[in-house]
Amino acid sequence: MASVIWDPDARKPADADEVEREIEKAVPSCQVKVTRFGDEWQVRALAPPGFCGRGRSLDDRDVSKQVAEILVDAGYPART
């Protein structure tokens, strides 16, 4: 299951469980931190090492853009 940290936890959306399920579908087992800045969420997300294959760099594991798109589709402004 994707590991999602909402910062601050008190501001996470009411439908956070549904959003997290969508994240899991798109990028299984990723590590995500979503931080609230003003009116939008800033996303940092990494896929697990095996997701990208051998010899790939940390940048290849960066799935922040995909996760931000899921938040935007759910109606939450987000950036990477």
Return the structure tokens found at 25: 């579908």
Average pLDDT of the chain, as a whole number: 90
Cα distance between residue 8 and residue 34, in whole Å: 9
pLDDT at 17: 96
pLDDT in tens, 36-67: 999 999 999 998 876 656 666 667 789 999 99
Residue 41 phi, psi (nearest 5): -105, 135
- Residue type for position 42: Q
pLDDT at 59: 73
Residue range 18-34: mean pLDDT, rounded? 94
Number of H helices, E strands in the chain: 4, 4
